[in-house]
Structure 1
Amino acid sequence: MKRSIIATAGTNLGGASAHNRRVVFDALRLNGTLSRAEIARATQLTPQTVSNIVDALTEEGLIAPDAPVRGGRGQPATPYRIVATGAYAIGIQIDRHQVLGIGADLTGRTLSRRRQRLPAGGPAKGFAIVLNLIAAIRRDLAKSDPESPERLLGLGVAMPGPFGQRLDPAHPPLDPLVDPWVMRAWHEFPLLERLEEETGLKAGLQNDAGAGAIAEKMYGAASGLDNFVYLFLGYGLGAGLIIQGEIYAGAAGNAGEIGQLPAFAAGDPPDANGQPQTLEHYISILAACRHLGLDPGEGDLFTHLESLHAARHPALLHWCRQAAPHLRQAVQTLEAMFDPETIVLGGQLPDGILRDIAAHVPPLLPSVADRQTRSLPRLVIGTADLWTVAQGAAMAPISRTFDPQFKAILKLG
């Protein structure tokens, strides 16, 4: 029996080449079009290395040249751009009452959007619905591009966490509206294995806040940022952590469960067990439903909330004001722990509601992020949309394949 040895994986020429390829692709994604000389200057790679990578990406149909641009003296420069049809990905979000799916191209453009209600009963009844939704998206992509089946990078899956946490019998959930265990059956189901077996696609899983963070990093408010936190306001409250350009998931995929921290706003009563209520008890879609007397499983909940906000419903506006101090606490906590360039607030509430909450947050509490040298606000508004998480899940296979990542340098990457 071999002795188990602890070590960090080394790299070789292939690992370095894979990283350089990702760096070139990422430069094109962030800037739109660049010539070979511009790529070399921006990435600090040698002109020969850049030429080899550009030639390979062009041959694979992932990038293409535009018309040459004449500048000063010498040969005109040829700019290159990403080819949208060079690759595709599918993302699905499995939530408490529904599954949402998106098919996207290499530039992040949505080509297919599907939504289905999920019945009670977890994966025993819902898995077939998920498979049917994925099959429908694949048909949509094939209609758009008959070559898409051969260019599918994979399947991204997102769902609420926490994953694998033991339920404390001494402190059971008190309110089914905020019960974090309603996804327990899905968490314990061999979802990725079954999806890969049934679809033939490589599948990856992350929590919903992590998926939203990827969407904001690749094509949203955090494009070009390497250190930021995405604060996701959904049925719960979570944080997607981008640290040094990469998503940080933690040991079991549960990093960023900010909504489970105790809330300490003045006047917050304890729960029936005498414990402080959590942040997501006050700021989440479920909290809004409780305040407004709405059914969180309502099929048109998001449309309903949008119409209430458009009518400036007093109870909804009151909830926005009440939720703001808890968001203020979450921002200060995340800043103290991660010192991000900014915190991006997004989620599945209608944009107007999200902005109303944010408008009541200032003044932000003192923290390490309160610096005179800041170039970005401490809190910025990101995407507020029902499809945010599914979009981020679709971006995950693209990010996994093309984003610069430390593990791509390693032999195991």
Structure 2
Amino acid sequence: MRRGSNQLRLADFNQAVVLDVLRRSPGASRADLRRESGLSPQTISNITRRLIDDGLIRETEPAGSARGRPSIPLVVDRDGAFSVGVHIDPARLTTVLLDLDGQVRLRRQERTPQATNPPEVTAMIAATADSVIREAGVDRDRVLGLGIAAPGPLDVHAGVIVDPPQLPNWRNVRLRSDLHHATGLPVLLDKDVTAAATAELRSSKAPANAFVFLYLGSGVGASVVVDNQVLRGVTNNIGEVGDIIVDTDAEQLEWAGRRGGLAAACVPEALVIQAARLGLVPLPDLSDYVAIDDACTALCEQAAGGNSGATWILDRAARRVAVGLGVLINLLDVPRVVLGGPLWNRLAQAFLPVLTELVAGELVVARPALVVEGSAIGEHVAAQGAAELVMDHFLAPRAAALLVGES
């Protein structure tokens, strides 16, 4: 096993509180930190000195020309810590390197190997993680760990991928342990939709957040944020919404998904089957998710180019997705919907102009201020969320629900 890095560790809970405030409110002064944390001036002085010495925060120049001795703003040192996030989608493998300031230093997207043995994908993830760390020129000792966002179901506490429908032969794969041994880094495993919602929440500047995140990739899922908290469910497997019925008169697609379900409305496999029936694209091997993804891209490009058949397929998909979103909003009573994931950029042109009105028509209680929008982060949102989870696990003052270990 490769030698692991010397992990940065916060001295105590109070130090974590101070660093968390600065991560969320850059430019705060020591007086601001005292007010925000309730800690004494001496405690704040000791903690900030320690954080500066550890290279996690730094002082900046005061703004303006205030009279007297100005307060010195403090910000996190973006080179103070890093994390790697990886999103395993059956078609695309996305890797990001995140710095302490929450900025993506490096992003890479590759086709997911279609081999049915998980060790090939595991080896690719380990090699890619090492590569982005080297390419970015960061100190490996400053890399806190590796976060993995993967399709469910998962056993988050054991670090095991249980039996994802779209990853053949991935039953009970001990991915966290395998990647820890391959990289020497602590590894966290979480569900893709949860990771995506985490990144979206982190990107928000609003003081209060409540929204449904609809994840669109090779599969479909949903995550929920209420009162600035990402809901996880009892087993950390929240978000299996593909079987919500959105069209009782839907055609039979002769695939594994439920007829008339949300997945049948919008996942690439279902869209490609519909397109093939209209002669718009050749029907690919439905066990090859890269080929399916390529065919879905071709369909979306045809719709963007004005092809009437392709436009009809995506318009109908938008109407069906609106029904599913209406069900979720009626159930969860949230004012905002965010859509994202690897497929979203290709669907956005067809979906965004019509979704708000379509969803509003499905609601039991009228919501004049309803917001339906695309992710602020983009198609790498789940990978960024996986990296954010690592940062929070090691640096946030609240204990995370995820375990790190070798088992």
TM-score by length of structure 2 reads 0.78
Equivalent residue, structure 2, for 1:396: 389
Distance 1:58 1:302, change over 3 A: farther
Displacement after TM superposition at 1:224 (Å): 4.9
Task: Return the alpha-carbon distance in structure 2 between the equivalents of residues 94 and 380 of structure 1.
Answer: 24
Displacement after TM superposition at 1:61 (Å): 1.3
- Which runs of structure 2 are paired with 1:366-405 in the superposition (5 Å)? 367=363, 370=366, 377-383=370-376, 385-403=378-396, 405=398
RMSD: 3.3
- Which runs of structure 2 are paired with 1:266-305 in the superposition (5 Å)? 267-269=249-251, 276-293=259-276, 295=284, 296-298=289-291, 304=298
- Which runs of structure 2 are paired with 1:171-190 in the superposition (5 Å)? 181-190=165-174
Paired letter, 2:332 = F
Residue 125 of structure 2: which of 111, 130, 133 is its match? 130
Residue 240 of structure 1: which of 223, 243, 248 is its match? 223
Displacement after TM superposition at 1:389 (Å): 2.0
Q: How many residue pairs align between the two structures?
A: 370
8 Å contact from structure 1 (residues 116, 133) kept in 2: no
Q: Deviations over 1:123-182 (max 9, x none)?
A: 1433322222222223223xx23xx21111111101122347xxxxxxxxxxxxxx9623
Displacement after TM superposition at 1:197 (Å): 1.7
Paired letter, 1:140 = E
8 Å contact from structure 1 (residues 61, 86) kept in 2: yes
Query: Secondary structure, in 3 states, of the residue corresponding to 2:343?
Result: coil
Task: Return the alpha-carbon distance in structure 2 between the equivalents of residues 286 and 384 of structure 1.
Answer: 25
Q: Deviations over 1:81-116 (max 9, x none)?
A: 121111111111222234222222112322333324
Distance 1:49 1:391, change over 3 A: same
Equivalent residue, structure 2, for 1:212: 196
Is it true that 1:315 corresponds to 2:315 in the alignment?
A: no
8 Å contact from structure 2 (residues 271, 296) kept in 1: no
Task: Return the alpha-carbon distance in structure 1 between the equivalents of residues 307 and 232 of structure 2.
Answer: 38
Query: Secondary structure, in 3 states, of the residue corresponding to 2:166?
Result: helix
Is it true that 1:112 corresponds to 2:106 in the alignment?
A: yes
Query: Secondary structure, in 3 states, of the residue corresponding to 2:85?
Result: strand
Q: Percent identity?
A: 28
8 Å contact from structure 2 (residues 60, 74) kept in 1: yes
Task: Return the alpha-carbon distance in structure 2 between the equivalents of residues 159 and 241 of structure 1.
Answer: 17
Query: Secondary structure, in 3 states, of the residue corresponding to 1:131?
Result: helix
Task: Return the alpha-carbon distance in structure 1 between the equivalents of residues 365 and 227 of structure 2.
Answer: 17
Paired letter, 1:267 = D
Query: Secondary structure, in 3 states, of the residue corresponding to 1:196?
Result: helix
Residue 145 of structure 2: which of 129, 146, 154 is its match? 154
Q: Deviations over 1:242-269 (max 9, x none)?
A: 34433332233310112232x1335324
Paired letter, 1:333 = V
Paired letter, 1:228 = F
Equivalent residue, structure 1, for 2:54: 60
- Which runs of structure 2 are paired with 1:36-47 in the superposition (5 Å)? 36-43=30-37, 45-47=39-41
Displacement after TM superposition at 1:371 (Å): 5.0
Displacement after TM superposition at 1:222 (Å): 6.8
Query: Secondary structure, in 3 states, of the residue corresponding to 1:182?
Result: coil
- Which runs of structure 2 are paired with 1:350-365 in the superposition (5 Å)? 351=345, 353-361=347-355, 362-363=357-358, 364-365=360-361
Distance 1:47 1:311, change over 3 A: farther
Distance 1:82 1:351, change over 3 A: same
Displacement after TM superposition at 1:46 (Å): 4.9
Distance 1:282 1:306, change over 3 A: closer
8 Å contact from structure 1 (residues 69, 78) kept in 2: no
Q: Deviations over 1:280-302 (max 9, x none)?
A: 11122333322333544237567
- Structure 1 stretches lacking a partner, 5+ long: 1-14, 165-178, 409-413
Distance 1:16 1:398, change over 3 A: closer
Residues 296-305 or 77-86, more deviating = 296-305
